[in-house]
Structure 1
Amino acid sequence: MPTHAEHIDRLNALGPRRSGNQAHRTLIDEVAAELTALGHRVERDTHSFERWDASEDAVSLTVDGDGVEVASAWPYSGETGPMGVTAALVLLRGRRKRWAAARGRIAVIEVDNVEAPASLVLDSWDGRLPFDSVANPVISSELAGTDLTAARAAGVVGVIAVWRGLADHESRGQYLPFTRPHQGLPAVWVPESESDRVVAAARRGATATLVLDATRHADATMDTVWAVSPGAGPHADESVLVVTHSDGGNAVEENGHIGLLALARDAAEIPHDRTIVFVLVAGHLRIPAVTEHGQATTAWLRAHPELWSPAAGGRTAVAGLVIEHLGALHDRTDAPHPGEDPDAAEPELLYATTREFDALVRSAWGNPAVRPVKPGALVHLGEGEPLFENGIPAIALVTGPVSLLAETRHAGVDLDLLGRQVDAFRALQRRLADAPDRAAFGVVRRPGRIRKIFAIARVAWFLARRRQR
């Protein structure tokens, strides 16, 4: 099996693994081959979908004939063809956009990289969170609430989204937002260094040409691969799910297969009481292609209830481990002005969905500074969400550096930290697979209606206060 460093080098060599592209499919096949070499029987679930793609040289923007830097294309937004679309610019402000005011024009909007209290998206077991606030473009692109389908219905011919509060080198290559269906309206992101220029041009109604010569592939496919390591004890009818995803734009998002393969090797070499199911899901970056709700793991759970649901009469999943974003550093390696310690790790974000698992992580993770979180009332970030929604107690790593969704070969990975995290997951797998009584894992308690309403009100209040500033 390749070393951790060789795995990271391979991810950088493959480049962005957009859902269903050749790099993505190659990685899936390589992981499947490694699972097979460990003696596991690999199964595949094939997802067919329409894939949207745009290369860097197929995206450009000019204003009054002068070129403007494009940070990234808005994935699955729309297409202009090679000649692009030429129209007057108009500036739209406010969270609720008056798209009709941009009929027949290219709308310019501003998107703040919002610094939000961490408590808006996370909850804690002991009243403390691993960090006080979060400013991540993944969250900001969603909080902006931009509805391109509404813009298209109003007759807008294109959208330019201008980043505010996000460093230029971090904005480049951001594959955001990644949760939307095809919008039917071309849109791009431009960096903050171009913001004043583009906003001024929109105020005076300057003419711009937007090119987003994207292609759509109606017959794209991608495979979720999975393998079962049967239990050899009295609890073999109970299962532990080990989950990660295969699509990602850099060597942090996603490198979870490194941990999955290490745990699969451990399971192949050491007998274990409970059955362990290893799942490498596809579609994390194209969720609408695999499910109408939740993360990509939802599709696998629905397809294979016999491996986790007691209602299906097969095995009952009593625990889960979700491995994402191993060894994440705070800065990209190409950061022009790295922090005081360029090798500083991003604070580890670890979910424990029961109080018992919170205690287990604190004793077994090996980093006394780690404070496990419990899911917030509105969201459980990452592929652990479907396990939480289905009442499967789980521990999930989903650390989120600013560059997490950036398509780059410069993602910061600390190999020592990655190794320690893999070792911690290996120790956790042994505990979960052999613990004598699943009652020690606790019971997942999902938020009730009142708690969700209160959480929605807090988010609305936060956004309203920002608008008043």
Structure 2
Amino acid sequence: MNITTHQELIGWHRYLEALGPRLTGSESHQRFIEFLAAELTALGCEVQRDRYYFTRWEAQNWGLALQNANRSETAIATSFHYPYSGCTPAEGIVGELVDCGKSPGNFQQAAGKIALVEVAVPALPTMLFIHPTKAAQASATQLPKTLRNPTLGSFLGGPDLQAAKKAGVKAVICMWSNISPANAAAQYLPFTSSYQDCPALWVDSVGGQQLKQAAAQGQQIRFTLQATLTEQCPTESLYVVLPSQASNESILINTHTDGPNAPEENGALGLLALVRWFKQQSLERNLIFIFATGHFQLPQLGKHGQATSTWLAEHPALWNGQQFRAVAGVTLEHLGCTEWHDNRAFTSYQPTTQPEIELTYTTSPMLEQLYYTALLQRTKQRVLTILPINDIYFGEGEPFYKANIPTISLIPAPNYLCATPSNAAIDKLDFDLMQQQIETFARVIGLIDQTSASRLGIAEPQPFSLVGSLFRRMVGANQGH
């Protein structure tokens, strides 16, 4: 299949690297949206735009400096800022550093002071939030019994900044633990917070130990987080329809466009290649490609969870039977990811030489069968098909499933998913794997297009467990939605 080439994929990702982080509503994000719109228009598509407005927070400068007895300052390296936390004056704020222990922390003792809170990345039992299908249970790719991931760690173990503000804390310093400094570096986490009005920064375990010693001595610290709040900031979702001449059925294909690095999110580049391919094919059904905004500011831009929920709410005629009836939803996210892990001592962060596990939701037996058929031509894969469990469905395929549309959703979850390195994490991508993933989805969409709605089936119900349901409530509470 001549859908895309290594050269094209590398060129597109170099463009993402040059743009820098495409955080929701930022200039670089809007430039990427315009790039996609121009490419789609050049393919002969009529590009539809949905514009939204939200209050955007943007960090500009941040740092920490311990105050020494001789009035000099000792800079302490930060890992990153805490998104949508708060802001300080340009000169920062100075206060006594107080060790409030492990998160969620005892903020009452830090009223009028600067709190230090330890945030451990837990090893979570995967059975609580990932449920392999029967076919996956018999496959060579096996799910690890536990998963340690900074994204989940920030959702579950992060401090309650609203509680800190209520207690009168001036600012919060979050100290990563159970994660190497290299893995913790520049993580844009948590990414699902609304504005907290309590400035916070991250430090790694090395900087955290320095701060613990300083807090034990009652030392003062200068905390700086300059940031701006822009009200009525615009951002846009795009979608295009590749029409069929004889059907009122549709297949929805989606991803999101905002993110802190290249793999998060490069799904839009996969969709772009797929649009070009299917423009040349004869279609039985209408294909609708959705490039959603808002994944990195869900509290303001996601109506019922993920960003695509807003598109579904605003365009019901394209999927609920008024104009078109959706028979399947297909989601591409995090293409080409390789696996990187910390060592047991959390002192080294290295590649394992394997692809990241290709977690793929397949929520009807026929869709799973079609997906495995599409995989047959792959020479490189590490696929694990899964079902939602305990009301947990990661990624932008979730709104389709909640709308009772059967889905296939690729959602690998590497440790670096939310990191913001200067090279956009391109060094962690395998472009051969990426090309094969895109080709797989071209094949499976083609197979879906040729399969009757009755055979495609409906979205299967998900399993629940008491412990898992409690875990889901914890995840939801800490994500703020």
TM-score, L = length of structure 1: 0.91
From 329, 343, 367, give the equivalent of 2:338.
329
Tell me the alpha carbon deviations over residues 336-373 of structure 1, each in whole angstroms, 9 at most, x when there is no partner. Answer: 966475x5321211111223222222222245752201
Mapped contact 2:57–2:229 kept (Cα < 8 A):
yes
Match of residue 31 from structure 1: 36
Match of residue 158 from structure 1: 171
Residue 443, structure 1, aligned to residue 458, structure 2: yes
Q: Would the alpha carbon gap of residues 355 and 188 (structure 1) be closer, same or farther in structure 2, given more than 3 Å must change?
A: same
Separation of aligned partners in 2, 1:461 and 1:241: 31
The secondary structure found in structure 1 opposite 2:329 is: strand
Tell me the alpha carbon deviations over residues 97-131 of structure 1, each in whole angstroms, 9 at most, x when there is no partner. Answer: 33222211111111112221211211121273533
Separation of aligned partners in 2, 1:89 and 1:339: 34
Tell me the alpha carbon deviations over residues 228-282 of structure 1, each in whole angstroms, 9 at most, x when there is no partner. Answer: 111133xx21110110110111111110012101111122111101111000001
Match of residue 467 from structure 1: none
Mapped contact 2:181–2:205 kept (Cα < 8 A):
yes
Q: Which moved more, 1:88-97 or 1:318-327?
A: 88-97
Equivalent positions of 1:9-48 (< 5 A) are: 9-48=14-53
Residue 267, structure 1, aligned to residue 273, structure 2: no
Residue 63, structure 1, aligned to residue 66, structure 2: yes
From 33, 58, 63, give the equivalent of 1:53.
58
1:149, distance to aligned residue in structure 2 (A): 1.3
Match of residue 441 from structure 2: 425
Residue 88, structure 1, aligned to residue 91, structure 2: no
Q: Would the alpha carbon gap of residues 74 and 360 (structure 1) be closer, same or farther in structure 2, given more than 3 Å must change?
A: same
Tell me the alpha carbon deviations over residues 115-153 of structure 1, each in whole angstroms, 9 at most, x when there is no partner. Answer: 212112111212735333211111000111522112111
Mapped contact 1:274–1:433 kept (Cα < 8 A):
yes
Match of residue 416 from structure 1: 432
Q: Which moved more, 1:213-222 or 1:276-285?
A: 213-222
The secondary structure found in structure 2 opposite 1:277 is: strand
- Partner AA of 2:89 in structure 1: G
Separation of aligned partners in 2, 1:331 and 1:274: 40
From 391, 400, 403, give the equivalent of 1:390.
403
- Partner AA of 2:356 in structure 1: E
Residue 243, structure 1, aligned to residue 254, structure 2: yes
Mapped contact 2:307–2:396 kept (Cα < 8 A):
yes
1:94, distance to aligned residue in structure 2 (A): 4.3
- Partner AA of 1:269 in structure 2: Q
Separation of aligned partners in 2, 1:339 and 1:284: 28
Say what the alpha-carbon RMSD is for the aligned residues: 2.3
Residue 354, structure 1, aligned to residue 398, structure 2: no
Equivalent positions of 1:220-369 (< 5 A) are: 220-233=233-246, 236-310=247-321, 313-331=322-340, 339=350, 343-366=353-376, 369=382
Match of residue 180 from structure 1: 193
Mapped contact 1:246–1:280 kept (Cα < 8 A):
yes
Q: Would the alpha carbon gap of residues 415 and 77 (structure 1) be closer, same or farther in structure 2, given more than 3 Å must change?
A: same
Q: Would the alpha carbon gap of residues 459 and 434 (structure 1) be closer, same or farther in structure 2, given more than 3 Å must change?
A: closer
Mapped contact 1:309–1:317 kept (Cα < 8 A):
yes
Separation of aligned partners in 1, 2:465 and 2:54: 33
1:454, distance to aligned residue in structure 2 (A): 3.8
Query: Number of paired residues?
Result: 450
Q: Would the alpha carbon gap of residues 151 and 452 (structure 1) be closer, same or farther in structure 2, given more than 3 Å must change?
A: farther
1:446, distance to aligned residue in structure 2 (A): 3.8
The secondary structure found in structure 2 opposite 1:70 is: coil
The secondary structure found in structure 2 opposite 1:264 is: helix
Residue 117, structure 1, aligned to residue 125, structure 2: yes
Separation of aligned partners in 1, 2:102 and 2:196: 21
Separation of aligned partners in 1, 2:473 and 2:324: 42
- Partner AA of 2:429 in structure 1: V
Q: Which moved more, 1:380-389 or 1:143-152?
A: 143-152
Mapped contact 1:124–1:373 kept (Cα < 8 A):
yes
Match of residue 102 from structure 1: 110
- Partner AA of 2:173 in structure 1: I
Match of residue 344 from structure 2: none
Structure 1 unmatched runs, 5+: 463-469
Separation of aligned partners in 1, 2:217 and 2:205: 19
Match of residue 466 from structure 1: none
The secondary structure found in structure 2 opposite 1:358 is: helix
The secondary structure found in structure 2 opposite 1:93 is: strand
Structure 2 unmatched runs, 5+: 68-72, 342-346, 476-481
- Partner AA of 1:4 in structure 2: L
Mapped contact 2:121–2:177 kept (Cα < 8 A):
yes
The secondary structure found in structure 1 opposite 2:327 is: strand
Mapped contact 1:362–1:372 kept (Cα < 8 A):
no
Separation of aligned partners in 1, 2:185 and 2:104: 26
Q: Which moved more, 1:96-105 or 1:417-426?
A: 96-105
Mapped contact 2:103–2:118 kept (Cα < 8 A):
no
Tell me the alpha carbon deviations over residues 421-467 of structure 1, each in whole angstroms, 9 at most, x when there is no partner. Answer: 000010011111222x112222213447xx264413467999xxxxx
Mapped contact 1:70–1:190 kept (Cα < 8 A):
yes
Mapped contact 2:357–2:384 kept (Cα < 8 A):
no
Q: Which moved more, 1:417-426 or 1:166-175?
A: 166-175
Separation of aligned partners in 1, 2:104 and 2:260: 31
Separation of aligned partners in 1, 2:473 and 2:218: 32
- Partner AA of 1:268 in structure 2: K
Separation of aligned partners in 1, 2:411 and 2:390: 17
- Partner AA of 2:19 in structure 1: L
TM-score, L = length of structure 2: 0.89
Mapped contact 1:389–1:446 kept (Cα < 8 A):
no
Q: Which moved more, 1:15-24 or 1:212-221?
A: 212-221
Separation of aligned partners in 2, 1:183 and 1:340: 35
Q: Would the alpha carbon gap of residues 130 and 149 (structure 1) be closer, same or farther in structure 2, given more than 3 Å must change?
A: same
Separation of aligned partners in 2, 1:184 and 1:12: 31
The secondary structure found in structure 2 opposite 1:88 is: strand
Separation of aligned partners in 2, 1:344 and 1:242: 27
1:300, distance to aligned residue in structure 2 (A): 0.6
1:410, distance to aligned residue in structure 2 (A): 4.8
Q: Would the alpha carbon gap of residues 77 and 292 (structure 1) be closer, same or farther in structure 2, given more than 3 Å must change?
A: farther
